[in-house]
């Protein structure tokens, strides 16, 4: 049968038909399989490290924020360290820009300093890096001991990474208040991993044509 079909065609037409019958289905299968493998690998990178505990902290705009604010969303958090302020500001601005249209992705900065100077610094920080977004960006203050306890409850790997609460460069990612991963903001590969994890967990039914470039260089 195939011989009869191809025998009546010139070579270019026969090659085109062969591509349609064999090449395109094979290519589609490979594309779908590659995408599935990518999603499976991304899923397997994440773990359930800890459940974020209850807290109520003062935001830089004087509102009170509890953990329930993030209960039904995705949270990228950082325990603020002034030594890392510049790299943190630039990285957070990029992340906020990428997910700015989402109403279920939040960014929280936990500052273990309740002084007036620290509050003024956070206000300037938010202004400098264009993070004045009260629905998505939160700058939360608490006593050092309370923040230390919160970091421990979140299983922040400060000691493992040679860092401390006062000087660290770690993001954490939580899905519905479950901490799923940790990422060094100074490492481009770890930032890509953070973006993969956030994007993977965004509910598809709420997707607003978010463009996710897997290999985009930061």
Radius of gyration of the chain (CA): 23
Write down the residue that tokens 């209850």 correspond to: 54
* Of 156, 175, 26, 1, the residue nearest 80 (C-alpha): 156
Low-confidence residues of the chain, pLDDT below 70?
1-39, 205-218
pLDDT of 208 reads 44
Q: What is the per-residue pLDDT across 118-145, written as a single tens digit (0 to 9) for each?
A: 999 999 999 999 999 999 999 999 999 9
> Cα dist. 19→8, 13, 67, 123, 194 in Å?
17, 10, 55, 60, 39
Q: CATH class for domain 50-206?
A: alpha beta
Put residue 205 in one of left, alpha, beta given phi > 0 → left and psi -120 to 50 → alpha.
Answer: alpha
The CB density around residue 93, as the number of other CB atoms within 10 Å, is: 15
> Element (H or E) spanning 154, and its range?
none
Q: What is the pLDDT of residue 44?
A: 81
Q: Report the pLDDT value the prediction gives residue 134, as an integer from 0 to 100.
A: 94
- Distance separating alpha carbons of residues 193 and 138, to the nearest angstrom: 22
DSSP characters over 40-94: HHHHHH----EEPPP-EEEETTS-EEEGGGGTTSEEEEEE--GGGHHHHHHHHHH
CB-neighbour burial class of residue 70 (10 A; exposed 0-12, middle 13-18, buried 19+):
buried
pLDDT of res. 43: 75
Within 10 angstroms of residue 78's Cβ, the number of other Cβ atoms is 22
The reported pLDDT for the residue numbered 215 is: 44
Distance CA 152, CA 164 (A): 11
| pLDDT value, residue 140 | 98
Q: So what's the pLDDT on residue 22? A: 59
Please state, in angstroms and rounded to a whole number, the distance separating the CA atoms of residues 119 and 125: 10
The pLDDT value given to residue 203: 84
Tokens 């890392």 belong to residue: 84
Q: What is the pLDDT of residue 212?
A: 45
Q: What are the CA-CA distances from residue 48 to residues 12, 39, 109, 120 (Å)?
A: 55, 17, 21, 35
Locate the domains of the chain by residue range.
2-45, 50-206
């Amino acid at each position: 049968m195939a011989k009869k079909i191809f025998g009546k065609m010139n070579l270019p037409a026969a090659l085109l038909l062969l591509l349609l019958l064999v090449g395109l289905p094979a290519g589609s299968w490979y594309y779908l399989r590659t995408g599935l493998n990518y999603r499976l690998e991304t899923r397997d990178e994440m773990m359930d490290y800890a459940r974020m505990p209850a807290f109520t902290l003062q935001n830089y705009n004087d509102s009170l924020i509890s953990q329930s604010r993030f209960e039904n969303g995705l949270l990228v958090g950082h325990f603020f360290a002034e030594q890392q302020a510049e790299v943190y500001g630039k990285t957070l601005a990029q992340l906020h820009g990428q997910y700015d249209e989402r109403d279920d992705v939040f960014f929280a900065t936990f500052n273990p300093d309740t002084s007036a100077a620290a509050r003024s610094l956070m206000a300037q920080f938010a202004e400098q890096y264009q993070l004045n977004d009260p629905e998505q960006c939160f700058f939360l203050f608490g006593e050092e001991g309370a923040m230390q306890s919160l970091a421990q409850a979140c299983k922040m790997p400060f000691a493992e990474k040679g860092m401390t609460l006062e000087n660290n460069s770690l993001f954490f990612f939580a899905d519905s208040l479950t901490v799923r991963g940790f990422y060094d903001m100074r490492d481009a590969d770890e930032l890509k991993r953070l973006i993969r994890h956030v994007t993977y967990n965004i509910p598809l039914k709420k997707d607003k044509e978010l463009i996710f470039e897997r290999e985009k260089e930061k």
